[in-house]
Structure 1
Amino acid sequence: MGRSHRQSYGGGEMSVAASLVFYFLVFLAEILMFGLLSLVLFWVVYYRGGFKWREDPAREFNFHPVLMVAGFIFFMGHAMLVYRLFRCCNKLTAKLLHTFLYLLAVPCIVVGVITVFDSHNLRVPPIPNLYSLHSWLGLVTVGLFALQVTHTLVVGFFSFWLLLCCEQGTASFRSGLVPVHATFGIITFMLAIATCVTGYTEKAFFVMSNGLYAQLPDEAWVVNAQAACLAGLAILMGFLLYSSRYARASHPVAIVDPPSNSHYVMTQKTYYYRDQM
């Protein structure tokens, strides 16, 4: 009889102390994401007059901060946390949930972009588009997000679904796409945070001009609190997503050594044969 043993590769196994720290940090991130979305809704409803469509361009703009925070921060942030939180679920389930959350962000971002252009173009006189630092950063962020969605829907569908009929031949190709997608996802999220902060600053100076912002009225506290939430999310999400100790567990590999000079490597679905050198 040959001998067999099981090995684990990569992260995924955490001590009790590490698990407590991990879930505490996730809890803080959830508070910040839900808190930020609640604050921006409160801000535009209580201080900015709520929502209107094209008949009132000033209040149509209020869709922009709410939808951008919902799409880029709330839905995209949760999409990136899926692979950290659902550690014991089937990886296909995690992929589907990750894709679903990304898709929820798409209409938020599309409508958010439309409303900001509408609110500028329909003003009398019109406000110029794409002139500020905030708008330039936003353009880059939306472009990177579009690439991420294209990768998820087109490349992801092709590589992770159609190519599964040839799993062995495409394994290296599919695994090579994962770090690229993950890295650009984190970059897009951090750029979104930077864009939001510049947007809050720009809006605060517009609506609280004539030195009022420097006096820190109640609205200024609400705006600053949203920026503080974004800064906290940048720190927490960066740590949670980059730390290898919180990575999803790799599937175990069983190695069976027959009484010969070769061995078989058995995964959950496929058997591979390797000659020993």
Structure 2
Amino acid sequence: MYEFNGSKRNSCIFGYKHHLLQRHRHYEDENEWGCGSWLEYTFVVVCASILLLGSLGLTLFWVIQYRGGFAWRDEPAKEFNLHPVLMVAGFITFSGFSILLYRICRCCRRIYVKLLHTIFHALAIPCIAVGFLTVLDSHNLANPPIANFYSLHSWIGFVTMGLFAIQFVVGFFSFLILLCCEGATAGFRAALVPIHASFGLTTFMLAIAAALTGLTEKAIFTLKNRYSLREEEAIIINTIGMSLIALAIIISYILQREEFRFRAHILIRSGDL
């Protein structure tokens, strides 16, 4: 009786896997695009990648060319220059690429994409931590000291850091550690995916809002009347801001386009594979 039941169970499992494989092939057939779809996909992904790297490059150029470069605690004003560069690197560039991975790595196994997603977020952590410490140092060591957490920029940044930390902890626990007991947690992880994705996009948009308010605050405080005269530094600052706005638009567009998601990922997300 035991052997019969075992054989019957294996047969059912084989039949279910065959059914899923057929559905997977069906979705793969649906996922074959025409030339126009591939051109659209390539264009928006390349534009997003250029903007992610370009915003960091422009920030580096601005700080080195117009703000005097970098220093540590002996020069608080130059120590502050680490703050915008590291925050853009962590919150925008690394986090942006970690989001794009789910659209770029269309042919990779999902577990590999998850690992790369986690690695990019892990790279962002030291950037954000050091960037946060440098702004505190530069404020506290200034003569006279500058107050902390009084501006809208600082409030948005603080909320963004909190959401980022929660996202990383929940994502690491749910999508990596719980894979050790994959069968028992599949339903829970599938239900958590849209929540994790929504809050991930929200965190990214808040990071852009924090960057925009920070750029405006810095421009007004340091350039003063020269900002309204549209000097070269003012144009550079505004260009960084516009690149971040363009990035927010294009990342949102990429994530909202259901066609850009690999069909196998849709099946896995829904618990079918």
Same fold (TM over 0.5): yes
Instruction: Check if 1:51 corresponds to 2:65.
Output: no
Counterparts of 2:32 and 2:95, CA distance in 1: 26
1:163 maps to which of 171, 174, 181 = 181
Q: Please name the residue that 1:121 is paired with.
A: 140
Counterparts of 1:174 and 1:34, CA distance in 2: 32
SS in 2 for 1:192: helix
1:203 maps to which of 218, 224, 230 = 218
Counterpart amino acid of residue 252 in structure 2: G
Deviation at 1:139, TM superposition (A): 0.7
Counterparts of 1:12 and 1:134, CA distance in 2: 42
1:218 maps to which of 218, 226, 232 = 232
Question: Does the CA contact (< 8 Å) of 1:12 and 1:87 recur in 2?
Answer: no
User: Cα–Cα, structure 1 residues 45 and 241, in superposed 2: closer, same or farther, change >3 Å?
Assistant: same
Instruction: Check if 1:149 corresponds to 2:164.
Output: no
Counterparts of 2:265 and 2:46, CA distance in 1: 27
Shift >6 Å, 4+ stretches: 2-5
1:83 maps to which of 75, 88, 102 = 102
Counterpart amino acid of residue 124 in structure 2: A
Q: Please name the residue that 1:180 is paired with.
A: 195
Normalised to the residue count of structure 1, the TM-score between the two structures is 0.85
CA deviation digits over 1:133-160, x for unaligned, max 9? 100100111110011111122333332x
Q: Please name the residue that 2:251 is paired with.
A: 237
**Length, aligned pairs only:** 249
Question: Does the CA contact (< 8 Å) of 2:110 and 2:265 recur in 1?
Answer: no
Counterparts of 1:252 and 1:232, CA distance in 2: 27
Question: Does the CA contact (< 8 Å) of 1:6 and 1:252 recur in 2?
Answer: no
CA deviation digits over 1:221-248, x for unaligned, max 9? 1000000100100100000012111112
Q: Please name the residue that 2:5 is paired with.
A: none
Question: Does the CA contact (< 8 Å) of 2:76 and 2:141 recur in 1?
Answer: yes
Deviation at 1:179, TM superposition (A): 0.9
SS in 1 for 2:209: helix
Instruction: Check if 1:6 corresponds to 2:22.
Output: yes
User: Cα–Cα, structure 1 residues 74 and 251, in superposed 2: closer, same or farther, change >3 Å?
Assistant: closer
Counterparts of 1:97 and 1:12, CA distance in 2: 23
Counterparts of 2:233 and 2:56, CA distance in 1: 16
Counterparts of 2:71 and 2:175, CA distance in 1: 38
Counterparts of 1:16 and 1:50, CA distance in 2: 46
Counterpart amino acid of residue 52 in structure 2: M
Counting strand residues as a fraction of each chain, which structure ranks higher?
1
Deviation at 1:14, TM superposition (A): 3.3
Deviation at 1:12, TM superposition (A): 4.7
RMSD: 2.1
Moved more, 60-69 or 173-182: 173-182
1:35 maps to which of 35, 39, 54 = 54
Q: Which stretches in structure 2 are left out of the alignment for 5+ residues?
A: 1-14
Question: Does the CA contact (< 8 Å) of 2:174 and 2:189 recur in 1?
Answer: no
Q: Please name the residue that 1:259 is paired with.
A: none
Deviation at 1:174, TM superposition (A): 1.3
Over the matched positions of the two proteins, sequence identity in percent amounts to 47
Q: Please name the residue that 1:191 is paired with.
A: 206
Counterpart amino acid of residue 57 in structure 2: S
Deviation at 1:213, TM superposition (A): 0.4
CA deviation digits over 1:170-226, x for unaligned, max 9? 2211111111111110000001001100000000001101x1100010000100000
Q: Please name the residue that 1:61 is paired with.
A: 80
User: Cα–Cα, structure 1 residues 197 and 251, in superposed 2: closer, same or farther, change >3 Å?
Assistant: closer
Counterparts of 1:111 and 1:248, CA distance in 2: 36
Counterparts of 1:47 and 1:187, CA distance in 2: 32
Normalised to the residue count of structure 2, the TM-score between the two structures is 0.86
Counting helix residues as a fraction of each chain, which structure ranks higher?
2
